[in-house]
Structure formats: C-alpha cells, structure tokens
C-alpha cells in the first residue's frame, strides 16, 4: 500500500474536494491508502469519522482576518501542529500530498514539500486562496476550478497547471426527469420553476428578499418556487408556503431533484455550488456572500458573469424588487436563459475528480 496525504479542511468547501479526489484515486489504484490531516475545530472533525480512511486531527487554528486579536493562539497551535505533521510524515512516508486549501492545507503541504514529497494543489476559486498563492511555485501540480485563476498565480518552471474544474459528485445518470422531479417536490410540471438556495445553512439577506418579493406580489406569478431557506430560518419562512406554487424547505436532499426541476437558480457563489450549477447547465442569478474570505465569492460570480454564464446581483443591491426584476426578466426571455445555460454547461467539468486523481497518481512515489 502507498499512502497519499490529504490536507484540506476547516470548511466543507475545502474538505469535500479532498474526499472526492481520494475516492477517485482509490478507484483508479486500490493500492492507494488515503490519510487525512485535519483540524479538531473544522468540519472534518465530524465528517472524517464517517469515512473509511485513516486520519489525524491536530490543533490547527484559522487565521482571523477581521477579528485579528483572536490570532493570539495561532503561533502556539501552529508549532504544535507542525511537530505532529512531521511525525506523521516520518511514520507514514507518503508518496504524495494533496492540498485543497484552507488553514490546514498550507502547513501540511509546506512540511511535506520540505520533506521531498511531491505536492498537488487543488484551487476551487477564481481568485486563488492564500495557500495556493503561497505554495504554487514549489508544487508539482496545480489544478484550477476556474481557468481565470491562472492569471493570478506565479508558478514554478516545473509546475504543471491544469484547468481541471472542481471535483463534485456528477449529476446522476440517468438524470431525473423534470416532470418527475417537480412531482416529488409537490409542484406542477407545466409552470417554470425557480430554485433559491443560500446553501445548507441558508442566507438571511437572500431569504428576506425572497420573502419581501412574495409579500409584495412582485415574484413572477406564473412561476413556481423551491426555496431552501436553511434550518435556522425555517420557522420564520415556512408560513409562506403555498401548496402547488411555493415549497419552503430547510434543506433539500438529494439536491438533484431541485436541480432537475429548475429552470433558473438563485444562489450564493461558492465554488462547489457553481461547479454543481455548471454540471447541470443551469442559468443562475448569483448573489455572492460579501464577507467570504478574500472576496472569493464575488470573484467567482464575476468570472461567470463576464463569461456570459450567469447574472451577478451583488448583495448591496439586493432587495425584493431587484431580485424579482432579475428573475422575471430571465423567465420572460427564453433565448437568454438558454444562452446562459449553454455557457454554464460549457464550463462544466463533471469528471474533475477523476482527472485530478489520474494526474496525481502520475506523481506518487511508490515504495
């Protein structure tokens, strides 16, 4: 067996790509043994125990950009974590390291490269994160979720850069039919359908804009709405359900039904969400989270808007009227909707995880 070290966590947006790549590496080469390094405080602390692979959780701390005074523990946590990483490297002797960003990936990949381990970086966003910008010069491979990120990276002469896309579970095959998906959601097959989502936790400004447009009667009356508002907001917005027209849910699982049913999506602009929209070829109105680290979501949304694949509606301009106007103008312009969908689909990389895994396996140093 050959161990491959994986580092990427803190949030699901960094952990899930690592899990997808690991799964594909094992599928392509069953002799690969993934080993995950994560943070005790990150989402990986609850996710990794449910997965079949070895892992170790260390006392990594995030870098607080705004609440800088919280960084007082950072040097001590980093020193302790690096000692543990060096012990893992000595014990596991990995054949490669895969970093998918976040405050865990940087120190782990840096230590592994210093030990002579070939490094693979996977960058989800259009504006590369700090870890990718810091380590790209010494990495053997960099895999980009957005081709726009290439212009913002300084890579080494021997670094191979790939426009691989973001590794997500591809749409099911065969895809659910639109009529069946709408029936499961309790909505009619013949009406256009809008899917609004702020992610698994919801997005309060987006929820309030939707609620306001429904209350004002400005949301298109001829359209159905599937609204994923998040568990914390369900009690507040559930009374706005209208049987056969407005479905309000805390969380939709599987999300494939909502994607299959939708004509248009209104969402945040996280990298993995956008990869899903691209895989489904769905036109979208994107409302990026303005507080996302380093403005990643705004960069992602602008990249798609500039490519003619989505409509950008910044949160500063978000209101019931502006949201309703954006949705209505698209629903009543089928040609533009179709063009957005085609351009979004052109950016799809549904096999990204397999492509990244195959390239990474070329680097693995086997015993």
How sure is the predictor about 103, in pLDDT bands with cuts at 50, 70 and 90? Answer: confident
Q: For residues 78 and 58, is the Cβ–Cβ distance under 8 A?
A: no
Mean pLDDT over the full length of the chain: 93
Name the least confident of 1-5, 168-172, 222-226, 239-243: 168-172
The CATH code belonging to domain 2-170+351-361 is 3.40.50.2000
| Mean pLDDT computed over 109-129 | 97
Name the least confident of 64-73, 113-122, 347-356: 64-73
User: According to the model, what pLDDT value does residue 31 have?
Assistant: 97
CB atoms within 10 A of CB 38: 28
What CA–CA distance (Å, rounded) separates 72 from 31?
42
Instruction: Classify burial at 189, counting beta carbons within 10 Å of its beta carbon; exposed 0-12, middle 13-18, buried 19 or more.
Output: middle
How sure is the predictor about 367, in pLDDT bands with cuts at 50, 70 and 90? Answer: confident
Q: For residues 166 and 276, is the Cβ–Cβ distance under 8 A?
A: no
Cis bond leading into 174, ω under 30°? yes
How sure is the predictor about 22, in pLDDT bands with cuts at 50, 70 and 90? Answer: very high
Q: Would strands 224-228 and 119-123 be described as parallel, antiparallel, or unpaired? A: unpaired
Burial 99-117 (b: 16+ CB within 10 A, else e): bbbbbbbbbbbbbbbeeeb
Residue 71 pLDDT exceeds 80? no
- Indicate where the chain has its CATH 3.40.50.2000 domain(s): 2-170+351-361, 178-346
> Going by CATH, does the domain composed of 178-346 fall within 3.40.50.2300?
no
Longest dimension (CA), the chain: 67
User: According to the model, what pLDDT value does residue 202 have?
Assistant: 85
The angle subtended at Cα 143 by Cα 257 and Cα 118, nearest 5°, is 130
User: According to the model, what pLDDT value does residue 347 have?
Assistant: 96
User: According to the model, what pLDDT value does residue 364 have?
Assistant: 96
Q: For residues 27 and 55, is the Cβ–Cβ distance under 8 A?
A: no
Instruction: Classify burial at 72, counting beta carbons within 10 Å of its beta carbon; exposed 0-12, middle 13-18, buried 19 or more.
Output: exposed
Bridge partners, residue 5, by sequence: 35, 97
User: According to the model, what pLDDT value does residue 120 have?
Assistant: 98
User: According to the model, what pLDDT value does residue 68 have?
Assistant: 56
User: According to the model, what pLDDT value does residue 80 have?
Assistant: 73
Q: For residues 298 and 288, is the Cβ–Cβ distance under 8 A?
A: yes
pLDDT one-digit tens code per residue, 247-303: 999 988 788 999 999 999 999 999 999 999 999 999 999 999 998 877 899 999 999
Q: For residues 156 and 138, is the Cβ–Cβ distance under 8 A?
A: yes
pLDDT one-digit tens code per residue, 168-208: 888 999 999 999 999 999 999 999 999 999 987 789 999 99
User: Per the structure block, which two tokens stand in for 111?
Assistant: 């230590």
User: Per the structure block, which two tokens stand in for 120?
Assistant: 């693979």
How sure is the predictor about 72, in pLDDT bands with cuts at 50, 70 and 90? Answer: low
User: According to the model, what pLDDT value does residue 67 have?
Assistant: 62
């Amino acid at each position: 067996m050959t161990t491959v070290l994986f580092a990427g966590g803190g949030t699901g947006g960094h952990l899930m790509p690592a899990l997808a790549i690991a799964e594909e590496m094992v599928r392509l080469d069953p002799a690969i043994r993934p080993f995950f390094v994560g943070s005790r405080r990150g989402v990986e602390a609850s996710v990794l125990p449910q997965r079949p692979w070895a892992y170790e959780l260390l006392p990594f701390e995030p870098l607080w950009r705004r609440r800088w005074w919280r960084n007082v523990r950072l040097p001590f946590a980093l020193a302790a974590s690096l000692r543990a990483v060096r012990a893992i490297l000595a014990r596991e002797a990995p054949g490669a390291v895969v970093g998918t960003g976040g405050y865990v990936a940087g120190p782990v990949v840096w230590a592994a490269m210093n030990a002579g381990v070939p490094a693979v970086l996977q960058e989800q966003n259009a504006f590369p994160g700090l870890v990718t910008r810091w380590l790209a010069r010494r990495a053997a491979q960099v895999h980009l979720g957005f081709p726009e990120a290439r212009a913002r990276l300084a890579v080494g002469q021997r670094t191979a850069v790939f426009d691989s896309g973001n590794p997500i579970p591809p749409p099911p095959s065969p895809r659910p039919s639109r009529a069946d998906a709408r029936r499961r959601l309790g909505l009619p097959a013949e009406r256009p359908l809008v899917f609004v989502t702020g992610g698994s936790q919801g997005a309060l400004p987006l929820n309030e804009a939707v609620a306001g447009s429904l209350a004002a009667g400005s949301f298109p009356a001829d359209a159905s709405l599937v609204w994923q508002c998040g568990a914390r907001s369900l009690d507040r917005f559930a009374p706005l359900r209208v049987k056969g027209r407005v479905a309000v849910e805390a969380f939709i699982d599987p999300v494939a039904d909502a994607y299959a049913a939708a004509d248009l999506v209104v969402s945040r602009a996280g990298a993995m969400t956008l990869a899903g929209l691209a895989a489904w070829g769905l036109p979208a109105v994107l409302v990026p989270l303005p507080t996302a680290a380093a403005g990643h979501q705004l960069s992602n949304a602008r990249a798609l808007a500039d490519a003619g694949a989505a409509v950008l509606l910044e949160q500063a301009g978000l209101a019931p009227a502006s949201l309703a106007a954006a949705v209505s103008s698209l629903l009543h312009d089928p040609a533009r909707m179709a063009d957005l969908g085609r351009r979004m689909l052109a950016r799809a990389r549904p096999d990204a995880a397999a492509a990244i895994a195959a390239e990474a396996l070329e680097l693995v140093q086997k015993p």
